[in-house]
């Protein structure tokens, strides 16, 4: 069991822990949803969905410690899986997971100074992110969608640089990313393929925070898993991106480290 002294203590440390656990749960309920769904076998014992501080998720039995080290997530999520529609079940898991994330954060935040309004600031920071329920159900509005074209990646030998996307760049099926981060548009191809663009590209969300694409924000794509991330979520600035030839997200770096 980790000691209390090693737990997150400041608002920034608690929020960092929150976003890491949330990132793992976002991945379980979106990118890895088929794997997550299959692990929640109703024939198994009471199962819980955990998001860990290393951005990984896990479906397992609840902690045996009494009382547990941290607040526990909802127990027995697997039992309801086959008794309701998949999307409804995922939404239910998302709601309970939101509650669990908040309970863990405010467990850590119990010692924050009330006079400094630290807990209020922590909640405000958490509230700026879309909830898991909003991510899973698509309740957050989508302003624009970045074009994730594997063909352009092959031509450029990478998902070349992170970039800001304009509305016209988003709607072009065959936009090719240049080294300076700008998409070189071909207006003829854009006109010919605009009609089927909406069908080809699904809703793009950040692999870390689960936020939906906004054309005013800086995004970067991983050349390994092809997921997209807010630059601020993976601590990459536009200037720093200029020196990156092949970007590898934190999750892929972690996987490579474990394999070695």
Residue that is written with structure tokens 């760049």 in the block: 169
Reported as a single tens digit per residue, the pLDDT across 129-176 is 999 999 999 875 434 344 444 333 333 333 433 444 433 333 333 332
Between 39 and 220, name the one with better pLDDT: 39
Reported as a single tens digit per residue, the pLDDT across 42-62 is 999 899 999 999 999 999 999
Cα-flanking dihedrals φ and ψ of residue 52, to 5°? -100, 165
Reported as a single tens digit per residue, the pLDDT across 163-181 is 444 333 333 333 323 333 3
C-beta separation of 148 from 126 below 8 A:
no
Reported as a single tens digit per residue, the pLDDT across 236-255 is 888 788 888 888 888 888 76
Please tell me the predicted confidence (pLDDT) of residue 203.
Answer: 67
Tell me what percent of the residues of the chain surpass a pLDDT of 90: 40
The residue ranges of DSSP E strands in the chain, in sequence order, are: 48-51, 57-60, 176-177, 183-184, 219-221, 228-230
Which neighbouring-strand residues pair with 219? 163, 230
Q: Is the dihedral of CA 202, 203, 206, 209 positive or negative?
A: negative
Please tell me the predicted confidence (pLDDT) of residue 195.
Answer: 44
Residues 150 and 102: their CA atoms lie apart, in Å, by 37
């Amino acid at each position: 069991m980790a000691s209390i002294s090693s737990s997150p203590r400041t608002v920034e440390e608690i929020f960092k822990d929150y976003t890491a656990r949330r990132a793992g749960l976002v991945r379980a309920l979106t990118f890895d949803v088929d794997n997550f769904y299959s692990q929640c076998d109703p024939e198994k014992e009471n199962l819980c969905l955990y998001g860990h501080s290393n951005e990984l998720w896990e479906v397992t039995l609840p902690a045996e410690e009494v009382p547990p080290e941290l607040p526990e997530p909802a127990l027995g999520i697997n039992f309801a899986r086959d008794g309701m529609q998949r999307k409804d079940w995922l939404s239910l898991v998302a709601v309970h997971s939101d509650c669990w994330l908040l309970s863990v954060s405010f467990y850590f935040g119990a010692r924050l100074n009330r006079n400094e309004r630290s807990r209020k600031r922590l909640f405000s920071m958490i509230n700026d992110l879309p909830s898991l329920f909003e991510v899973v159900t698509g309740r957050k509005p989508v302003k624009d969608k970045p074009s994730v074209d594997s063909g352009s990646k092959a031509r450029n030998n990478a998902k070349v640089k992170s970039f800001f996307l304009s509305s016209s760049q988003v709607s072009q099926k065959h936009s090719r990313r240049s080294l300076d981060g700008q998409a070189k548009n071909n207006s003829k191809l854009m006109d010919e393929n605009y009609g089927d663009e909406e069908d080809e590209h699904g809703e793009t969300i950040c692999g870390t925070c689960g936020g939906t694409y906004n054309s005013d924000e800086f995004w970067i794509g991983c050349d390994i898993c092809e997921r997209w991330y807010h630059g601020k979520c993976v601590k990459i600035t536009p200037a720093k991106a200029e020196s990156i030839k092949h970007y590898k997200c934190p999750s892929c770096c972690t996987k490579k480290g474990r394999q070695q």
